[in-house]
Amino acid sequence: MRRAALLLAIFLIALTTAQPQLNITVESPLYEPGSLVTVRVRGPPGAPVGLEVRGPIGELVALDQLNLDARGEAVFQFELDPALREGVYTVYAATPGAFAQAAFLVLRRPAPAIVLAPPGQAEVGREAAILGFVYPGLPLEVAVYVKPPGGDWELAGRVAANESGWFAVSYKPVREGVHLVRAEYGGSEEYAPTSSTANFTAARAPPPQWSVSAPRQAWLSDSVAIVCTGCDSVLVRTVAGEFLLKPGAQVELNVPGPWILYPAKGEVFGSPAVLLVKAKVSVSVEGPAEAGVGEPIQLKAQVTPPVQALRVKFESGGRVLGEALSRTNGTAILRVAFSEVGDYKVVALVQPTSILEAEPSKTLTVRVVSERVYVRLIAVDAKGRRLYNAVVEVGGARLEAPMGVAEAVVRKGVYDVKVLWRGLTVYAGRVKLEGGNVTLTAQLYDLEVRVLDFLGRPAPGESVELYSGAELVAVALTDSEGKALFIRLPPGTYTVKAGGAQARVAVPEEGSATLHLPPPSWLLPVAILAAAIALFAVALKKGGLRVKVYKNK
């Protein structure tokens, strides 16, 4: 008895190890639109592997098939479209007997903005200061270039902005005319590259002495008066662009950051004044109310009004969970996993800058429980084939299953589960979920139709039509054995027709049907003619034909 048990255990171990193992890893958890994604695949040596990449709403991004090398490895690379939407992308891999998937995040790096404040007019041969601000107040390194009239771009200086975001370089113009200024930030892992251009005029005469009078600092939505003595207008430059004001105009401050104010008279500009507009932003945090131990979840902070390139810190109980930068729409996303059971109070904190202040967000409570389990819901038809592009509903939650497999983390228990495929509910039932793989066998069945000619021989190449009531459902041709196969039919009564023969079939009660073709219409006349010829031949054989000839008298 012990020997039998030992042999059974060895057999089970061998059976388990015989199952092919497939593993895929994405080289980076985060990519930008337009970048190259690298996926590494490991599995049985020489095995064919199908790969499919789906986007946040289930859209197909990439599709390929490759064979693993002698070491059981392969590399799959594809380029993301520059216009790709942000979100979570999933890579699905399948080989006979094995399935795997991995996910990565597509996000655009936030781009800081640069507001330039060169002099309105500089004197030839004298040093002039070119000021700038890295919005929304970031200490980043920038390179400043100047292009004199008729000349090429030349580096005026490479400088790091201070903690407030301001930087300055000196430049001595040597010729008269309009000089172009360009400030560039080359980008990093956190921030996208950015640049900004402006201009100033160099003249032999000293710059005009007009001046702009305005508060040095104000708050967003404040209304202030811009006063200019001796000028016709005031040119205002902000992070949102440029516009002209009349002297003495009352203006509502609707853009945070520095307002660069140039006194202007005709085409001549004086030295700028700076009005720093500060703003208060609010932040909220969103995430699931419940998660399992070790389950990756997504926390999202929303900065209002939307400001990009802000550093947002996520904390729980004074412990930093991680940081993320706000995007163009003001959202900052962090993926985390909690390692212990408990209630976690999560808040989002925006790192203040010289122009922005923010209060901590309201608290989000995430309950981390131990009884949540990971399940793979595999949708198959009656023959065990996966239902690609299916949708699985678990307790009202909708899960996409592009490769016929949906994954979820749920509490142990019994759930109402449905499988939807091509607009039909092909499975519905109460399912006990305790973790691991769960196979959902849909009510989809195959029907084999065999077509025989009037002599009982297989009729290859015959067109077979399948009807549900009066509606034509499908058409198939018979193979060399006279068989036509219709797959994945919902239960019901169907009519099959071929060459004048037809039959009613109940699916799944009847898995096959046979149609006997009637004789062709030309067969009866040919048979009559053949019979006449045969009788004529018999008559000749018995005595021949006697022909009597009468002579005319």
pLDDT tens for each residue of 344-393: 999 999 999 999 999 889 999 999 988 788 888 999 999 988 898 899 99
**Neighbouring residues of 171: CB distance < 8 A, sequence distance ≥ 6:** 122, 127, 128, 130, 144, 146, 156, 157
Respond yes or no on whether the N-terminal peptide bond of residue 136 is cis (omega within 30° of 0).
yes
- CA 38 to chain centroid, in Å, comes to 16
Per the CB < 8 A criterion, the answer to whether 346 and 315 are in contact is yes
- Name all contacts of 499-507 with Cβ < 8 Å and 24+ positions apart: 499/451, 499/459, 499/462, 499/463, 501/451, 505/447, 505/449, 507/445, 507/447
Distance CA 92, CA 50 (A): 8
Residues 529-548 have a mean pLDDT of 65
pLDDT of residue 543: 59
Distance CA 137, CA 162 (A): 9
pLDDT of residue 18: 46
Distance CA 22, CA 47 (A): 10
Distance CA 175, CA 164 (A): 33
Distance CA 313, CA 550 (A): 128
pLDDT of residue 448: 95
Residue type, 418: K
Per the CB < 8 A criterion, the answer to whether 153 and 182 are in contact is yes
Instruction: Say what the pTM is.
Output: 0.64
Dihedrals φ, ψ of 303, to 5°? Answer: -90, 130
pLDDT of residue 552: 55
Would you tell me how many other CB atoms lie within 10 Å of the CB of residue 289?
Answer: 8
pLDDT tens for each residue of 52-100: 999 887 788 999 999 999 999 999 999 999 888 888 899 999 888 788 8
Average pLDDT along the chain: 89
CA atoms within 13 A on the CB side of 488: 16
Which two tokens mark 518?
């009637």
More confident residue, 141 or 407: 141
pLDDT of residue 523: 64
pLDDT greater than 90 at residue 113:
yes
pLDDT of residue 524: 63
pLDDT tens for each residue of 472-495: 999 999 999 999 999 999 999 999
Dihedrals φ, ψ of 166, to 5°? Answer: -90, 145
- Sign for the pseudo-dihedral over CA of 374, 42, 388, 29: positive
Per the CB < 8 A criterion, the answer to whether 407 and 101 are in contact is yes
pLDDT tens for each residue of 250-290: 999 999 999 999 999 988 999 999 999 999 999 999 999 98
Ordered structural domains, the chain, with CATH: 22-106 (2.60.40.1930), 113-279 (2.60.40.10), 280-369 (2.60.40.10), 372-441 (2.60.40.1120), 445-516 (2.60.40.1120)
Q: For residue 456, with 0-12 CB atoms within 10 Å meaning exposed, 13-18 middle and 19 or more buried, which class applies? A: exposed
Q: How far is CA 315 from CA 322, 361, 524, in A?
A: 7, 10, 91
- CA 137 to chain centroid, in Å, comes to 32
Per the CB < 8 A criterion, the answer to whether 300 and 325 are in contact is no
pLDDT of residue 177: 95
Closest of 476, 519, 480, 511 to residue 497, by C-alpha:
476
Q: What is the DSSP code string of 58-126?
A: S-EEEEEEEE--TTSEEEEEEEPPTTPPPEEEEEEEEETTEEEEEEEEE-PPP--EEEEE--SEEETTS
Residue 521 pLDDT level (bands cut at 50, 70, 90): low
pLDDT of residue 13: 35
